[in-house]
Amino acid sequence: MTRSSRRLTRILATATVASTLAACGGGDGGSGGGGGGENEASDIGITEDSIKIGAHYPLTGVAAPGYSEIPTGVQAYFDCLNQEGGINGREIEYIYRDDAYNPTNTSAVVNQLVLEDEVFAIMGGLGTPTHSAVLEFLNAEGVPDLFVASGSRLWGENPEDYPYTFGWQTDYESEGKIIGQYIAENFPDARVGLFLQDDDFGEDGERGIREYIDDQIVAAERYVPGNTDVGPQIAALQAAGADFVVGFNVPSYTALSQLVALRLGYQPQWFYSNVGSDPALVGSLLQNFSQGAVSDASLLDGALTTEYLPGVDAPDNAWVQEFQRIWDECGGEGELTNYRIYGMAQAFTTAQALQAAGQNPTRDGLVEAIETAGSEWEGPTFAPFRYSEDSHMGTSGMQVSRITGTTAEEQTPVLVTDLGNAEIEEFDGEQAPPPANAIPDVESVVD
Amino acid sequence: MSQPQDTTATSSGEMSSESPTESTAAANAPSAGASTGRSLLPSNTLLRHLLVLLLCAVVAVVLLESTDQFTNSQLAQLSYYAIAAGGLTVLTGLNGQISLGHGALMAVGAYTTALFLEAEEPLPLPVVLLVAVLLTTLVGALVGVAAARLHGPYLAGATLALAVGLPGLALYFREWLGGEQGLRVRAPRAPEAFDGFIGFVSGNPASNTKWLAYLGAICLLITFFLLANLARSRVGRTWRAVRDQEVAAELAGIDLGAWRVLAFVVSAACAGLGGAVLALVVRLAAPSGFTLVLSLALLTAIVIGGLGSLFGALLGSALLVFLPPFVTDLGADLGLNNTEAAQLAPFVYGVVLVVVMIFAPAGVVGSVRLRWRTWRARRAASAAGRA
C-alpha cells in the first residue's frame, strides 16, 4: 500500500464512521390525541400554553404595498387575544414570512414554517400562484391550510383532493354573478366593457358576469400582470363604445386604468371588483404613478364596487369600531386600513376554528370542526361561510356599493350565491354584533 | 469576428485584457489540485474526478442524513440553483459570455417536466428529466447561434430579452401552460429501493422531502462531474482560448462561433436540468417563479463564488439559499418585527455582494486561489534565493 492510498483509506474510514454516527440521530414525529381535562401538547405546534400558526405574505417586492399590511392586522388581533387569555389558556404564536409573491420562495418559506418552525396550521397564505406551489405539500403533510387569501375556486371546490385547505373570501365567479345581475337590473341599456387580469381571476369573474349580461358585453380586454401599459386595452374599450366598464384587476391596475382613461377623456361608469377597489391604496398609487399630478382617489368618486366585509369607509359599523379599538391597543405604527381589517377578520375566524376544535386540538380535529360547524359561525363577514364536507368555499355573499369620497354607499342588500347555476338570493340574516372584546365564544364540536 | 485587443483604450478591450488575469482567476487553476506535486489523488483526470465524485456523494449522504427535514429541503433548493449556476459559470467563466437569460432557460426545463408529469401514465422520472434537458438544449442552441455573433453587453441585452420575454409565453398559451397560476407538478413518489436505502444508511423516515433532496443531490453530482471533466478536456481549453485571445485562437484554427455556440448549449442543458429539479422541488412551474430576478440571482451567485469555478458556483448558490432565512431570523431575534426582518434580507445580500466585489474581486474561490499562488511563488522565490 502506498502512502497516498493509505491516507485515502483513512479518509474514507472517517467518512463511514461519520455517517454511522449521523445515523444514530433518528427523527421523531408528533403524536395525536385529545380530550381530557387538562391542556396537553396534542399535536405538532401545540403545547400546553401555546399554539403556533404560520403564514406567507409578500412583504417585499411589487405586491407588498397593501398586502404587507394584512399580517400586521392579524398580529394585532392575536396580541389582543393573548392579553385576554388566548384560546383555552393557550397563547397564539404567529409567525409570518416573506415570499415576495414568488412561488419558488413560497415553497421555501412554507417548508421552513412546517418543517423547522413546526407550526400547527398555516393561515391566510396570500396569492393564487404562490399558494398553488404549496397546496400539494400542505395536504400531503396533513397541515391545516386555513383561509387562503385569494378568491380562486381551487381552495374549496374539491375537498376530496385537498382536504386540509379552506377558502375564505368570496370567490371571483360568485362575485361576477352578483355584479352581472346588478348591471342587468340597474343598467339594462349599458354597453358593458370588461377589463380583465389575464389569469383565473379575470377568467372566473368573466364567466360569472356573462351568465347574466352576455348580450350587453361589447368588449373584453385583458392585461398581463407586470406589463404596465394598459393604453391599448382602455382605448379598445372606448372604441367599442363601452359606457360601463367592469374591472377584475388588482389595485395598481385600477390606478393605471384611471390615469389612461383620464388622458383619453374616457368617462364610463366604472365598476371595480372588490380586490382592486381599496380607495386608500388606489389613491396613493395614483399619486405615485402620476408623480403628484393626481393627488387622491377622487377619480374613483362614483365608481361601483363590491364588499363582503365592512371597511374603514363604514366607521359606524360595530365590527369596524371593535377592530379600530384592537388596532389602537395592540397594533403597530400607521392607521387602520382595509387590509388590516381583512387580516383581523381572518384571525377572528381562525380563533373560532381553534375554539371549535376543542381543548386539545389536533390537525384533523381542526378540519373536522370547520366542516361541521363553520357554516354557522357569525363574524365580520356579511354572509356566512359555505364550509361543509362537500365544500371548503368561504363566504358566499357580497353587497354592491358606490364609492363616494372616503365612504361607500350601499346599493344592494347582501346577496348570496354559489358556483355554477346557483341562484342569487338576498341574505335574510343580520350581521351579528361582535362578541365582547371581539373574542369569539364557539363551542367545541370535537371532544 | 475580431475585437480590438489594445490594452489601453476601449472598454471591450479592457474587459478582455483583464478577464484572464483576475476576474476569472477561479477558472484557470486546474481542478482538484492536480498540479501540486504531493497529492493523494491520482494524476489521471477521469480517475481523479471519479474519486472526488465518490467522496462528494458520501459527504452528501452524511449531510442529508445528519440534518433535519428543513435543512434537507434547503439542500434540495441549493441543488437546483447550483446545477444552473454551474452551467452559467462554465459559460461566463470559461468562455467569457454573459447570459441574463438562464432563468428563462430554467423555465423551459421546468415547464417541460411539468407537462410530461401531467400525463396519465407519466414516463419514468429519469426520462422526463432527460427530455427536459434535451428540449432546453435545443432552445439553448437557437439562442447560442445568436449569442455567437454578439459580445459583452450586446449578448447580455439579447439574453435579457429572453429572460423577459419567455415567461410571457406561459401567459399567451394559457390553455396549455396554465397562465399566471402555472402548472402544478405532481412529483413522483420515491421508489421502494429508496426507503430501503435510507433505512439501511440511517434509519430516518424516508419522507418525500428527503427523496427530493436526494434527487437534487444526484443530479447536481452528475452535472458537476460532467462539467468538471469537460472543463479539464480539450473542450475546456479551447473555450479558455476563445475567451482570452480571440485572434490567437482563430490563428490556431479554432472556429470561434462554433465553440461559443457549444458553450451556450452545454450551459443551457444545465439550466434545463436545474429548472426540472426546481419544478419537482417547488411543485409548480409558474411565470412568477422565473422572473429576471432569478437570472440575476444566478449571475450574482457565480460572481460571488468566483467565475469559472464549480465550487464557487456551489458556494454562491448556498449563499442564495441560506443567507435570507439566516438574516431574517437574526433580524427577528434582534427585535425587528417580521416585516422589517424580511426587508433586511435583500439589503444584506446586496451588502455582501458589494463587500465581496471590493475585497475579493475574483470571487471567493478566485481570490483564495490567487493568494495561494502568490504565497507559493513567494516561497519558491525565497527558497531559490537561499539555494
pLDDT of residue B192: 82
| B109 at A interface, C-beta within 8 A | no
pLDDT in tens, B278-323: 999 988 898 888 988 899 999 999 999 988 889 999 999 999 999 9
How does residue A280 score in pLDDT terms, banded at 50, 70 and 90? confident
Cβ neighbours of residue B149 under 8 Å, at least 6 residues apart? Answer: B257
Per-residue pLDDT band at B77 (split at 50, 70, 90): very high
Cell of A288: 405615485
Task: Give the model's confidence band at B203: pLDDT under 50 very low, under 70 low, under 90 confident, else very high.
Answer: confident
Q: Is A59 on the interface with B (CB under 8 A)?
A: yes
Using a 10 angstrom Cβ sphere, with 0-12 exposed, 13-18 middle and 19 or more buried, the burial of residue B368 is middle
C-alpha count within 13 angstroms, C-beta hemisphere, residue A204: 21
Inter-CA distances, B213 with A132, B277, B280, B322, B326, Å:
21, 10, 10, 15, 20
Looking at A334-348, B198-212, B320-334, which range is the least confident one?
A: B198-212
Residues B78-106, mean pLDDT to the nearest whole number: 92
d(CA A182, CA B322) in angstroms, rounded, equals: 52
Could you tell me the pLDDT band of residue B27, with boundaries at 50, 70 and 90? low
Which amino acid, A380?
P
DSSP-assigned states of every residue in A196-218: EETTHHHHHHHHHHHHHHGGGEE
Among candidate residues B225, B187, B182, the one with its CA nearest the CA of residue B73 = B187
Beta-carbon separation of B182 and A101 below 8 A: no
> Tens digits of per-residue pLDDT, A188-225?
999 999 999 888 888 899 999 999 999 999 999 988 87
With cut-offs at 50, 70 and 90, classify the pLDDT of residue A55. very high
- What distance in Å separates the CA atoms of residue A274 and residue B243, rounded to the nearest whole number? 56
- Work out the minimum CA distance from B83 to partner chain A, whole angstroms: 16
Q: Which CATH superfamily is domain A50-170+312-395 in?
A: Response regulator (3.40.50.2300)
| Best mean pLDDT range from A414-418, B72-76, B150-154 | B72-76
Q: Are A4 and B40 in contact (CB under 8 A)?
A: yes
Mean pLDDT estimate for chain A? 85
Measured between CB atoms, which of A27, A59, A102 is closest to B339?
A: A59
What pLDDT does A76 receive?
Answer: 94
Contact: A133, B293; criterion CB under 8 Å? no
Cell numbers 464557487: residue? B312
- Run of H or E residues at A306: strand A304-307
Q: Residue B19 pLDDT > 60, yes or no?
A: no
What pLDDT does residue A24 have?
A: 41
Q: Which three cell numbers stand for residue B200?
A: 439501511
User: What would the mean pLDDT of B345-361 be, rounded to a whole number?
Assistant: 89
CA B284 centroid distance within chain: 21
Stretch B244-249: mean pLDDT: 86
pLDDT band for position A166 (50/70/90)? very high
Half-sphere exposure of B135 (CA within 13 A, CB side): 22
Contact A136 B66 (CB under 8 A): no
Average pLDDT for A308-332: 89
What backbone torsions phi and psi does residue B87 show, to the nearest 5 degrees? -65, -40
Residue A113 is classified by DSSP as: I
Report the complex ipTM.
Answer: 0.78
Q: Which of A99, A153, A61 is nearest to B282 (CA)?
A: A99
Q: What is the pLDDT of residue B26?
A: 66
- Domain residue limits, chain B: 43-290
Which pLDDT belongs to residue A447? Answer: 66
Look up residue B279 and give its three cell numbers.
419544478
Q: What is the pLDDT of residue B34?
A: 43
User: What is the Cα–Cα distance from B274 to B92, expressed in whole angstroms?
Assistant: 17
Q: What is the pLDDT of residue A27?
A: 35
- Short-list A31, A56, A57, A35, CA closest to A45: A31
Q: How many CB atoms sit inside 10 A of residue A58's CB?
A: 24
Concatenate the DSSP letters of all residues of A325-380 into one string: HHHHHH--SS---HHHHHHHHHHHHHHHHHHHT-SS--HHHHHHHHHHHGGG---S
Q: Is A128 on the interface with B (CB under 8 A)?
A: yes
- The rounded distance, in Å, linking the Cα atoms of B253 and A243 is 69
Q: What whole-number distance in Å separates Cα of residue A277 and Cα of residue B283? A: 32
Counting one residue from chain A and one from chain B, the pairs whose CB atoms sit within 8 A come to 153
Which residue in the block uniquely carries the three cell numbers 507559493?
A: B376
pLDDT, position B351: 92
The whole-chain average pLDDT of chain B stands at 84
Look at residues B302, B296, B322 and name the one whose alpha carbon lies nearest to residue B103: B296
In this predicted structure, the answer to whether residue B12 has a pLDDT above a threshold of 70 is: no
Above pLDDT 70, what percent of chain B?
Answer: 89
Q: Please return the burial class of B356, using the count of CB atoms within 10 Å of its CB with bins 0-12, 13-18 and 19+.
A: buried
Query: Which residues in chain B touch residue A135, judged by CB atoms under 8 angstroms apart?
Result: 184
pLDDT of residue B25: 65
pLDDT over 70 at A361, yes or no: yes
Q: What is the pLDDT of residue B88?
A: 94
Instruction: Please give, rounded to a whole number of angstroms, the shortest distance from the CA of A140 to a CA of chain B.
Output: 9
- Spell out the CATH class of A172-307: alpha beta
CA nearest neighbour of A124 among A58, A207, A195, A216: A58
Phi and psi dihedrals of A223, rounded to 5?
A: -120, 150
Q: Is it the case that residue A336 has pLDDT exceeding 60?
A: yes
CA B108/CA B299 separation, integer angstroms: 18
The whole-number pLDDT of residue B14 equals 37
Does residue A22 carry a pLDDT above 60? Answer: no
| Structure confidence at residue B173 as a pLDDT band (50, 70, 90) | confident
Identify the closest residue of chain B to A60 by CA–CA distance.
B343
Instruction: Tell whether the model's pLDDT for residue B4 goes beyond 50.
Output: no
Nearest residue in chain A measured CA to CA from B61: A19
Q: Is the pLDDT of residue A259 over 60?
A: yes
Residues in chain B with CB shorter than 8 Å from the CB of A200 are 179-181
A72: nearest CA in chain B?
A: B339
Lowest mean pLDDT among A66-75, A341-350, A399-408, B121-130: A399-408
Instruction: Check residue A371 and give its pLDDT.
Output: 92
pLDDT confidence of residue A17:
44
B79 closest CA partner among B218, B209, B172, B187: B218
Q: What does the block give as the cell for A250?
A: 388588482
Between chains, do B281 and A107 touch, taking CB under 8 Å as contact?
Answer: yes
Predicted confidence (pLDDT) per residue in B107-123, tens digit: 999 999 999 998 878 88
User: With the CA atoms of A144, B68, A129 and A168 taken in that order, what torsion angle do they form, in degrees rounded to the nearest 10?
Assistant: 20
Query: What is the model's pLDDT at position B1?
Result: 39
Least confident of A413-422, B201-210, B239-248: B201-210
| Mutation target among A14, A104, A135 for the B interface, most CBs of B within 10 A | A104
Inter-chain contact B62–A60, Cβ cutoff 8 Å?
Answer: no
Domain map (residue ranges) of chain A: 50-170+312-395, 172-307
Residue A108: pLDDT over 60: yes
Q: H/E/C letters for each residue in chain B? A: CCCCCCCCCCHHHHHHHHHHHHHCHHHHCCHHHCCCCCCCCCCCHHHHHHHHHHHHHHHHHHHHHHCCHHHHHHHHHHHHHHHHHHHHHHHHHHHCCCCCCHHHHHHHHHHHHHHHHHCCCCCCHHHHHHHHHHHHHHHHHHHHHHHCCCCHHHHHHHHHHHHHHHHHHHHHCHHHHCHHHCEECCCCCCCHHHHHHHHHHCCCCCCHHHHHHHHHHHHHHHHHHHHHHHHHCHHHHHHHHHHHCHHHHHHCCCCHHHHHHHHHHHHHHHHHHHHHHHHHHHCEECHHHCCHHHHHHHHHHHHHHCCCCHHHHHHHHHHHHHHHHHHHHHHHHCCCCHHHHHHHHHHHHHHHHHHHHHHCCCHHHHHHHHHHHHHHHHHHHHHHHHC
Rounded to an integer, what is the distance from CA A158 to the centroid of its chain?
A: 18
pLDDT in the model for residue B313: 93
Residue B180 touches partner A, C-beta closer than 8 Å? yes
Contact A373, A442 (CB under 8 A): yes
Residue B139 grid cell: 432552445
The alpha carbon dihedral of B58, B62, B65, B68 has a sign of negative
pLDDT in tens, A287-298: 888 887 776 667
Task: Please state at what angle helix B310-333 crosses helix B208-232, rounded to 10 degrees.
Answer: 140
Q: Does the pLDDT of residue B8 top 50, yes or no?
A: no
